[in-house]
Amino acid sequence: MIPVENYFLLASFVFLCGLSGVMFRRNLIMVLMSIELMLNAVNIVFVAASRQLAQVDGQIMVLFVITVAACEAAVGLAMVIALFRRYGTVNTEFLRLLRG
């Protein structure tokens, strides 16, 4: 059996990859994909902890996280398409200019 620490290390690596994508990417679609990576890292932790504790609570929580991620992806993609149709770009620097 693989130790639970290995799953936590994998999840932290995946989460840091997602976090760096959110922080440093300029394309809005890549930012949304990085958020999905972060949510999947949380799913890994939930399943590993659920298996370690021999309970199904973590696996049930994963179903809720996947549902929220699917909704976030649908709404986020719709917003990206609307921004691209209106302004012709999905660059995050351009969106910062719209605020000010």
How many domains is the chain partitioned into structurally?
1
In a domain, 53, yes or no: yes
Using alpha carbons, list the distances in angstroms from residue 62 to 25, 44, 55, 66. 27, 9, 13, 6
In a domain, 100, yes or no: no
Contact of 12 with 41, CB cutoff 8 Å: yes
In a domain, 27, yes or no: yes
For residue range 46-72, what is the model confidence (pLDDT) as tens digits? 999 999 999 999 999 999 999 999 999
Is a pLDDT exceeding 90 seen at residue 35?
A: yes
Q: For residues 54 and 90, give the distance between their C-alpha atoms in angstroms, rounded to a whole number.
A: 44
Q: Domain containing 42 — which CATH number?
A: 1.10.287.3510
In a domain, 17, yes or no: yes
In a domain, 67, yes or no: yes
Give the residue numbers spanning the domain of 32: 4-95
For residue range 66-90, what is the model confidence (pLDDT) as tens digits? 999 999 999 999 988 998 898 888 8
In a domain, 82, yes or no: yes
Please name every residue paired with 91 in a beta bridge, in sequence order, or none if there are none. 27
Q: For residues 99 and 71, give the distance between their C-alpha atoms in angstroms, rounded to a whole number.
A: 25
Contact of 32 with 73, CB cutoff 8 Å: yes
